[in-house]
Structure 1
Amino acid sequence: MSISQMEQVKTIRNKITRFMMMYKFALSELETKVDILKEEFHLLHDYNPIEHTKSRIKTPVSIMNKLHRKGCGTSFSSIRENIKDIAGLRITCSFISDIYWISEMLSNQSDLNIVEIKDYIMNPKPNGYRSLHLLMQVPVFMSDRQENVFVEVQIRTIAMDFWASLEHKIFYKYDQSVPARLLQELKEAADSSNELDLRMERLHREIEAIKGEQHHDDAEELARFMIDNKHFSIPAALMELLSEDIKLGKSGV
């Protein structure tokens, strides 16, 4: 390989690396936001609506294969325009209500632009698949410019995630040609999974109501909080001062 050819390969490599880095940085930005939400809910509500998260970035080979399937050009602009799921983040929750709670919180982030919402919970796919999909643009600040990078976010319950994982493994094993009998059983399993989600949602609400009644009169306990595993108590004088501010509508937090 000549020197000029080597330089050309190096230039192409750097362009591809820079392109892929933008999606990595966008995922990092989004994961940081999710981590902040998790900690906020843990500290303020003694409850974490997010069980776990998983991120992924499509490989260059996967990107090229999808471009060919869609019959699109192979330029960077074509990739940006036609492939919106290069970066993906999956958020798994315990309850259905958590899904919409998290979606609302992300929608309220002023620097995130929600481009599209696909609600496969209210409108499941024919095979039984359920999940909430958000297509959003995340701002990434590079050394010489700002890029708004697409990230696909899937939010689902543990039961939905288990079913989707099982369905994917079955389709992979049968190379997309799944027998009709198994397809029917998968659909029935999805319905059973949804029934479990609805039952757990009801139990969750009843337990939260009971907890609220138990702690309603425990003023001393309510005046305690914890940050970075350190316990703090709100002084009575500060509590009285802030109570007056809240009554006058002066609370700024």
Structure 2
Amino acid sequence: MSQLTTNDLKRFKNELTRFMMMYKFALDALETRIEILKEEFQLLHDYNPIEHTKYRLKSPESLLKKVYRKGCEFSFASVRTHIKDIAGLRVTCSFLSDIYRIQEMFEHQSDLKVLEIKDYIKNPKPNGYQSLHLLLEVPVYMSDRLEYVCVEVQVRTIAMDFWASLEHKIFYKYNQSVPEHLLAELKGAADSASALDRQMERLHLEIEEIKEKQSSDNQDELKRIIINNQQFALPPALLQLLDGREE
């Protein structure tokens, strides 16, 4: 191998590494935001809307295959323009309302830009698939420049995730057309999962109303805050000051 070829290979390797690092750092940034959201909700509402998260970065091999499938030019600029799911984040929530709460959180972050929203909950796919898909543009501070990196975010409930995961396993590497009666059963299972989501959402809201009333009736609890597992009593002087402001 000539020296020139070796240098070219080294340069391409460095460029590819830097390219993939941008997407990895974008996922890191979103992970931090998700952790802050979880802790904030836990402290303020004694409730965490997020069951779990899963982060995924396409491998160079998978990325190359998608470039060939889409027929786009193989350059880093072209890949950034045409392939939007190099970095992916899946957020699994407890309840339906949590999904749109997560969406609002992203929309209210001034340095994030929502590029696209596909709501497969209000408009499910024909096979019954439900999820909220967001394309977010995330700022990434590299050593010598600021980059805006696209990340695909999928937000769904436990029931939606359960259905989607099993649907994928059932039809993994199945390249033939699916018989109509199986498609109907698959859609029926998705409808059942959706009905369960709506029922659990209703139960959740009713219980939250009861808990809110109990909390309001407990004045002692309202005079304490808990931060990082430490309990702090509100100073009497502060309570007197607040009482004076409300008169």
> Whole-Å Cα distance in 1 between the matches of residues 79 and 103 of structure 2?
26
- Over 3 Å counting, the alpha-carbon distance change for 1:9 and 1:167 in structure 2 is same
Q: Is the 8 A contact 1:140 1:149 kept in 2?
A: yes
Report deviation, 1:228: 1.4
> Whole-Å Cα distance in 1 between the matches of residues 132 and 22 of structure 2?
24
Q: Is the 8 A contact 1:171 1:177 kept in 2?
A: no
Q: Identity of aligned pairs, percent?
A: 65
2:153 is matched with 153
What is the DSSP-based 3-state SS (H/G/I as helix, E as strand, rest coil) of the residue aligned with 1:154?
Answer: strand
Q: How do residues 211-230 of structure 1 correspond to structure 2 at under 5 angstroms?
A: 211-230=211-230
What is the DSSP-based 3-state SS (H/G/I as helix, E as strand, rest coil) of the residue aligned with 1:65?
Answer: helix
Q: Match for 2:212: what amino acid?
A: G
TM-score (norm 1): 0.94
> Whole-Å Cα distance in 2 between the matches of residues 212 and 30 of structure 1?
31
Q: How do residues 154-193 of structure 1 correspond to structure 2 at under 5 angstroms?
A: 154-175=154-175, 177-193=177-193
Report deviation, 1:4: 2.2
> Whole-Å Cα distance in 2 between the matches of residues 206 and 176 of structure 1?
46
Report deviation, 1:184: 1.6
Cα RMSD after superposing both structures = 1.4
Q: Match for 1:46: what amino acid?
A: D
Q: Match for 2:13: what amino acid?
A: R
> Whole-Å Cα distance in 2 between the matches of residues 86 and 42 of structure 1?
31
Q: Match for 2:222: what amino acid?
A: L
Which stretches in structure 1 are left out of the alignment for 5+ residues? 249-253
Q: How do residues 1-253 of structure 1 correspond to structure 2 at under 5 angstroms?
A: 1-175=1-175, 177-244=177-244, 247=246
> Whole-Å Cα distance in 2 between the matches of residues 141 and 217 of structure 1?
48
Q: Match for 1:132: what amino acid?
A: L
Which stretches in structure 2 are left out of the alignment for 5+ residues? none
> Whole-Å Cα distance in 2 between the matches of residues 243 and 55 of structure 1?
47
Which range is displaced more, 222-231 or 197-206?
A: 222-231
After TM superposition, the runs of 4+ consecutive aligned structure 1 residues lying more than 6 A away are none
How many equivalent pairs are there? Answer: 247
